[in-house]
Amino acid sequence: MSQPIDQPELSAAEWKLIQNLRTLPDEAVRTRLHASLNELLFFFRTPKCQGMGVEGFPCGDPRSSCEDCHQIWEMLDKVAERGKKA
């Protein structure tokens, strides 16, 4: 007998994200999006740069410069704005 699969509760936003991912028509686009989302999630979990944080101590792991972090956040803001206009 197989064990039941743990099915966690998903919010409406999580379900919508899954549904949107499943409607992408092209496998290559889906693959690229999955990779990009994984990188984006890593960035959100660990937004670290070489500079000083607002508290006056280094942000953490020097994976990128502060300028790189700020550019990423600015680009994400632009993407969010484009999404609101669509």
15 shares its domain with 41: yes
pLDDT score of 57: 47
Give the residues of the chain that fall short of pLDDT 70. 1-5, 47-65, 86
> How many domains are contained in the chain?
2
Q: Give CA–CA dist 27/51, Å, rounded.
A: 39
pLDDT score of 13: 92
52 shares its domain with 78: yes
pLDDT score of 59: 61
52 shares its domain with 77: yes
Q: Environment class of residue 41 by beta-carbon count within 10 Å: exposed (0-12), middle (13-18) or buried (19+)?
A: exposed
Domain that holds residue 83: 48-86
**2 is a domain residue:** no
Task: For residue range 31-45, list pLDDT tens digits in order.
Answer: 898 888 888 888 777
Q: Environment class of residue 47 by beta-carbon count within 10 Å: exposed (0-12), middle (13-18) or buried (19+)?
A: middle
57 shares its domain with 82: yes
